[in-house]
Amino acid sequence: MTDSSRDAIERVAAAIAAARSITALTGAGVSAASGIPTFRGEDGLWKNVRAETLATREAFENDPRLVWEWYEWRRTLIRDAQPNAAHHVLAEWTRTRSASLITQNVDGLHERAGAEGLIRLHGSIWHVRCWDRCPAGGEDWRDDRVPIGTLPPRCPHCGGMVRPAVVWFGEPLDEAVLNSARAAAACDVFLTVGTSSVVYPAAGLIPDAKAAGALVVEINPDATGTSHVADVTLRMKADEALTAIHALTP
Ligand code: APR
Q: Where are the domains of the chain?
A: 1-35+83-122+173-250, 37-80+123-166
pLDDT along the chain (250 residues), means of 10: 86 98 98 93 74 91 94 92 98 97 98 98 96 90 76 91 95 98 98 97 98 98 98 98 95
- What was the pLDDT predicted at 147? 61
Residue 5 confidence (pLDDT): 87
What is the pLDDT, as a whole number, of residue 4?
79
- Parallel/antiparallel/unpaired status of strands 22-26 and 100-103: parallel
How many angstroms is it from 13 CA to the middle of ligand 1?
Answer: 23
**Residue of 36, 38, 167, 222 to test ligand 1 pocket, by largest number of atoms within 8 Å of CB:** 38
pLDDT score at 77? 92
Question: Exposure of 4 by Cβ count < 10 A (0-12 exposed, 13-18 middle, 19+ buried)?
Answer: exposed
Tell me whether the CATH fold assigned to 1-35+83-122+173-250 matches the one assigned to 37-80+123-166: no
Identify the active-site residue in 88, 110, 122, 246: 122
Q: What is the pTM of this model?
A: 0.96
Residue range 37-80+123-166 in CATH 3.30.1600.10: yes
88 tagged catalytic: no
What integer pLDDT is reported at residue 26 of this predicted model?
98
CATH class of 1-35+83-122+173-250: alpha beta
